[in-house]
């Protein structure tokens, strides 16, 4: 996924700032920042305390700009850059009040999206010598779907469907309600012949049904490695194969050599460990 457009980013950041300022984007609502002289100017830097893959530059920039357009930021990194601990990410200058009001919102986006990009990079690096690719899921933080999926690509991963509108993922309940795998796949291809059809299966019998029905992708849900190998042999390249469920670091090594096309993991976006960032401020004069 490419970076969301700036209007989308500004909308997200505005909501976050309003949450911090009592419901309206009024920087004067920051009662602690109001302790500082209104004319005070400051310089600041954002530093990472740990190795990471950077993501969220435009979200952090928007936070400072929406609070006070007089704030200036000079970035020393860009999204997707891999940096080491104690790297200075940017230099900020402008009204001290505005910098401190925007600080937490800016860091929240930057640390969260960098966390997603960093863990994705780790997973992708394990598979770097394999044709298998790591995918995200829809298990994203509410309101951050596009942002986190962008972060996944910054870390070297690929996106599964964005939402419920751009691809089919026919699961157990859909199969039951449609009267079987074949019926569900047939209806999907009739309704939207231009969209990929994926079926989630729980055993080799269901896999055979999905393949016979013409599914474009079959997700092997919670299969062990022996079952996955049997599915690869049965498939003979007919459809794309995706593995999901119980994806650990150790399993990634073995799965990358079996011959599946994709491994999907909700951990990329739902088990987010924010990167430890620090903003340091010094007053001018």
The residue from 82, 138, 171, 230 that is catalytic is 171
Give yes or no: 128 in active site: no
Q: Are 275 and 48 in contact (CB under 8 A)?
A: yes
Place of tokens 């047939």: 186
Give yes or no: 221 in active site: yes
The residue from 79, 221, 242, 261 that is catalytic is 221
Q: Measured between alpha carbons, how far is 2 from 10 in angstroms, rounded to an integer? A: 16
Give yes or no: 284 in active site: no
Q: Measured between alpha carbons, how far is 206 from 76 in angstroms, rounded to an integer? A: 51
Strands (E) in the chain, as ranges, are 41-48, 52-53, 72-75, 82-83, 88-95, 133-135, 168-170, 197-201, 217-221, 240-244, 262-264, 277-283
The residue from 200, 206, 242, 261 that is catalytic is 200
Query: Long-range contacts for 180-185 (Cβ within 8 Å, ≥24 apart)?
Result: 180/209, 181/206, 181/209, 181/210, 181/213, 181/215, 182/209, 182/212, 182/213, 184/213, 185/210, 185/213, 185/214, 185/215
DSSP class of 92:
E
The residue from 11, 82, 91, 139 that is catalytic is 139
The residue from 104, 158, 195, 251 that is catalytic is 104
Half-sphere exposure of 218 (CA within 13 A, CB side): 29
Radius of gyration of the chain, Cα coordinates, nearest whole angstrom: 23
Give yes or no: 139 in active site: yes
Q: Which two tokens stand for residue 10?
A: 């500004």
User: How does strand 133-135 pair with strand 262-264?
Assistant: parallel
Give yes or no: 138 in active site: no
Half-sphere exposure of 242 (CA within 13 A, CB side): 25
164 alpha-carbon distance from chain centroid: 17
User: Which residue numbers are catalytic?
Assistant: 104, 139, 171, 200, 221
């Amino acid at each position: 996924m490419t970076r969301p457009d700036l209007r989308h980013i500004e909308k997200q950041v505005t909501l976050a700032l309003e949450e911090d300022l009592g419901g309206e984007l009024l920087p004067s609502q920051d009662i602690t920042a109001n302790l500082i002289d209104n004319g005070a100017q400051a310089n600041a830097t954002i530093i990472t305390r740990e190795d990471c893959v950077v993501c969220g530059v435009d979200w952090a920039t928007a936070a400072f700009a929406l609070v006070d357009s007089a704030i200036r930021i000079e970035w020393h990194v860009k999204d997707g850059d891999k940096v080491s601990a104690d790297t200075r990410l940017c230099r900020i200058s402008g009204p001290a009040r505005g910098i401190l009001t925007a600080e937490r919102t800016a860091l929240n986006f930057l640390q969260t999206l960098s966390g997603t990009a960093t863990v994705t990079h780790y997973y992708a690096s394990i598979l770097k010598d394999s044709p298998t690719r790591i995918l995200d899921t829809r298990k994203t933080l509410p309101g951050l779907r596009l942002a986190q999926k962008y972060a996944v690509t910054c870390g070297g991963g690929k996106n599964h469907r964005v939402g419920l509108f751009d691809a089919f993922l026919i699961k157990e309940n859909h199969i039951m309600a449609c009267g079987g795998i074949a019926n569900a796949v047939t209806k999907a291809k009739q309704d939207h012949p231009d969209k990929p059809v994926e079926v989630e299966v729980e055993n080799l019998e269901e896999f055979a049904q999905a393949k016979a029905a013409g599914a474009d992708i079959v997700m092997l849900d919670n299969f062990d490695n022996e079952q996955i190998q049997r599915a690869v042999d049965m498939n003979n390249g007919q459809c794309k194969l995706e593995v999901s469920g119980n994806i650990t670091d150790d399993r990634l090594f073995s799965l990358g050599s079996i011959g599946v096309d994709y491994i999907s993991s909700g951990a990329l976006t739902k088990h987010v460990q924010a990167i430890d960032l620090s903003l340091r401020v010094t007053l001018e004069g």
